[in-house]
Amino acid sequence: MSFRVHIRVMPRRGLLDPQGQAVERALGALQFAGASNVHVGKAIELDVAAQDEASARAAARAMCDKLLANPVTEDFEIAVEPK
Amino acid sequence: MSFRVHIRVMPRRGLLDPQGQAVERALGALQFAGASNVHVGKAIELDVAAQDEASARAAARAMCDKLLANPVTEDFEIAVEPK
């Protein structure tokens, strides 16, 4: 079976997020006064061929651990849906 | 009220996604054979102060139109949740 996997990789809470700060300042300059606490990370989508949803999730977690996320500075979330 | 807004900005389907291709090749090199159709975009999280969920969503859409997404090359999705 094939699953569509959505991964969100965000800077870890409490660590510096210069891109988020830059976006927050830019939003303020554009008069979006209501925006705060902005964080910017990576969104990754991919198809994973696996026997079941748990296997697809485990494969995605391994991909994050080995390549997609920095284990020291980033956290990730994985969502799996059938295709 | 304040809402937590999650925005996902992805390269538009059919347009070149060199970052996605690079990740797909790297996953292949790491023996993740089951991964395909990889796309990489931006994940943005922010707090939006608004009267209700519809207003928060409208504000987020305006932010995407004006700053966060490139209207020619990217598509975006918005999810709003109460804080």
Torsion of CA B47, B51, B56, B62, to 10 degrees: -110
Digit-coded pLDDT (tens) for A23-57: 999 999 999 989 999 999 999 999 999 999 999 99
- Confidence tier at B80 by pLDDT (50, 70, 90): very high
Residues of A in contact with B7 (CB under 8 A): none
Digit-coded pLDDT (tens) for B31-63: 998 999 999 999 999 999 999 999 999 999 999
ipTM of this complex prediction, to 2 decimal places: 0.93
Closest residue by Cα to residue B12 from B30, B39, B33: B39
Q: What percent of chain A has pLDDT over 70?
A: 100
- Domains, chain A, with CATH or none: 2-82 (3.30.1280.10)
DSSP assigned state of B22: H
pLDDT, residue B12, reads 97
Return phi, psi of residue B22, to 5°: -65, -40
> Do residue A49 and residue B62 have CB atoms under 8 angstroms apart?
no
Residue among A38, A45, A66 minimizing CB distance to B39 = A45
Residue of B nearest to A59 (CA): B32
Question: Which distant-in-sequence residues (6+ apart) come within 8 Å of B76 by Cβ?
Answer: B7, B8, B9, B10, B64, B68, B69
Asked if the model's pLDDT at residue B83 lies above 90, the reply is no
Residue among A36, A40, A42 minimizing CB distance to B47 = A36
pLDDT, residue A83, reads 87
Q: To the nearest whole number, what is the mean pLDDT of chain B? A: 97
Helix count and strand count (H, E) for chain B: 2, 3
pTM over 0.95: no
